[in-house]
Structure 1
Amino acid sequence: MLKGLGALGGLGDMAKMMKAAQEMQTKLAEVQEELSRTIVTGEAGAGLVKARATAKGEVTGLDIDPSILVASEKEMVEDLILAAIRDVQERARARNDQEMNKLAEIMGMPPGMKLPF
């Protein structure tokens, strides 16, 4: 009889763990959705080329100052575009990491634990 009660206690713990896992999945999905709506900006050439991306890293746009659109400067413009894209991707990665670290902290996970697993 007592063994049965101990097993029921274990089921209760399992139910709590399952509920916590579901809550974690829900929060993670909410954060992922928010990151897909958050726009970050990167730039190169002191702002001559700017790139926009979601915080998940999807590049959504470029702004190029028309003054650099000269045929003789084609290579420099290409380099600036690549630099702006790299910059915005790094900023997106940093924002993503920041939000995931906040979520991990809220959930009581050790610092530096990467989400999703």
Structure 2
Amino acid sequence: MLKGLGQLGDMAKMMKQAQAMQEKVTKLQEDLNTMMVTGESGAGLVKATATAKGELKGLDIDPSIFDPNEKEVVEDLILAAIKDAQAKAQDRAQREMGKITEELGLPADMKLPF
């Protein structure tokens, strides 16, 4: 055969891999909207549920913390639970993306766009 055709085959393989990666990333972005994480504060007295994209979906607050004299404490617990949920969402999204990069043989710390 002609010399150089091997490079064309490599290019076609790379294009297929790129397309496969794009499809997986697109699917993951959709899946992150349905993956849920729960952040907690106050030993579970306040729980915040969010998607793995970080969108807050719900709050669960134990009624025992509703003391008018403790308003600031309750607000702090709510904020802490939300921040915990957002941190867990970011971690989950990174772990899921890491699975894709690993499957494709890319470096684990390679940052792909979301």
* TM-score, length basis structure 1: 0.87
Aligned partner of 2:24 in structure 1 is: 27
Aligned length: 114
In structure 2, the residue matched to 1:80 is 77
Instruction: State the one-letter code of the partner of 2:15.
Output: M
Structure 1: distance between partners of 2:72 and 2:78: 10
SS in 1 for 2:60: strand
> Between the two proteins, what is the percent identity of the paired residues?
63
2:40 alignment partner in structure 1? 43
Q: Which has the higher helix share?
A: 1
Structure 1: any 5+ residue segments left out of the alignment? none
2:86 to 85, 89, 102: 89
- What letter corresponds to residue 40 of structure 1 in structure 2? V
The CA deviation at 1:113 is 1.2
Counterpart amino acid of residue 84 in structure 1: A
Give distance in 2, aligned partners of 1:37 and 1:69.
Answer: 31
Give the C-alpha shift of residue 25 in structure 1. Answer: 0.3
Worse overlay, 25-34 or 10-19: 10-19
CA RMSD across the alignment: 1.8
| 1:69-102: CA deviation from partner (whole Å, max 9, x where unpaired) | 2221111110000000011111111111111111
Gaps of 5+ in 2: none
Structure number with bigger Rg: 1
Q: Secondary structure at the match of 1:37?
A: coil
SS in 2 for 1:99: helix
The aligned runs of 1:61-80 (5 Å cut-off) are 61-80=58-77
Task: Supply the distance in 2 between the matched residues of 1:12 and 1:109 (Cα, whole angstroms).
Answer: 20
Please report the TM-score for the alignment, with normalisation by the length of structure 2.
0.89
